[in-house]
Amino acid sequence: MQPSAIEYPKEGVKTSRARQKNVRIILQAAEDEFVSSGYRGASIRGIANRAGLPKANVHYYFNSKKDLYSAVLKHIMGLWEVVFSELSVEDNPATAFRSYIQAKMAYCQAHSNASQIFSSEILHGGEYFKEYLHYLTDWINAKSTVIHAWIKQGKMEPVEPMHLLLTIWATTQYYIDFHLQVAAVLGKDEVEEKDLTAATESLIQLIIKGCGIKSS
């Protein structure tokens, strides 16, 4: 699966280089609206207000709320593809996993809305996510092939690559999606940067040592 610029659904979206700025503004406003109100509660008018654009302008690029929601999901998948995109059997697993976990945690922080929208979509049955499932499948299969090669080369202990990657996804997203619970457990009003840094390093050590990977 090639990490590339955002691709928008063919139906309901008019795009050109000159219009990309407006589309980005609308997508960001849509993320805010979907996080705040959920899919059912969100409206094109609400998204237009957040974007500071007339409702007609939003409809010019997106025919319906469903089209816009699909574009947001596609945007999220595009962002995810970039993280851990460059990986080869010649890489050092310790370095690769350290870089991936750091990037994944940073991504979740920088795109907390995207992470929450994705989680909410899955919790509500993934009706709109299903058409993009092949992107995720292709991505995880490609990474699993490299991990299997590392295992055969004796660079790490035998583990199931898919479960390993799912574990990393689950732990990194948890600190962002459930930040209120994390803060409560830590006895704080909110999760601080130093807490996420410590969590990232702890996860890196758990993965590296748990998989029997040599740090050098």
CA neighbor of 75 nearest in space, from 137, 28, 16: 28
Q: Are the C-beta atoms of residues 198 and 192 closer than 8 Å to each other? A: no
- CATH code assigned at 213: 1.10.357.10
What's the pLDDT score for residue 16? 67
The last residue of one of the domains, among 27, 44, 74, is 74
For residues 164 and 189, membership in a common domain is answered with yes
Give the domain-ending residue among 74, 94, 116: 74
Q: Which of 74, 101, 131 is the last residue of a domain?
A: 74
pLDDT for the residue 124: 75
* pTM of the shown model: 0.74
- If one counts the domains in the chain, the total is 2
| Terminal Cα distance for the chain, rounded | 29
118 and 33 co-located in one domain:
no
pLDDT in 10s for each residue of the chain, 216 residues:
343 444 444 444 444 665 778 888 999 899 899 988 888 889 999 999 999 999 999 998 899 998 998 888 887 777 766 666 677 889 999 999 999 899 888 888 887 787 788 777 777 777 777 777 777 788 888 899 999 999 999 999 999 999 999 999 889 888 988 899 999 999 999 999 999 999 999 999 999 999 999 765
Cβ atoms of 101 and 172 within 8 Å: the answer is yes
pLDDT at position 1? 39
By 3-state DSSP, what share of the chain in percent is helix, strand and coil, each rounded to 5?
A: 70, 0, 30
Question: What domain range is 151 assigned to?
Answer: 83-216
| C-beta neighbour count of 45 within 10 angstroms | 12
Instruction: Find out whether 41 and 100 touch, Cβ atoms under 8 Å.
Output: no
| 70 and 96 assigned to the same domain | no
The encoded tokens of residue 126 equal 């993934």
Same domain, 119 and 210: yes
User: Quick one: pLDDT at residue 197?
Assistant: 94
User: Is 189 found in the same domain as 98?
Assistant: yes
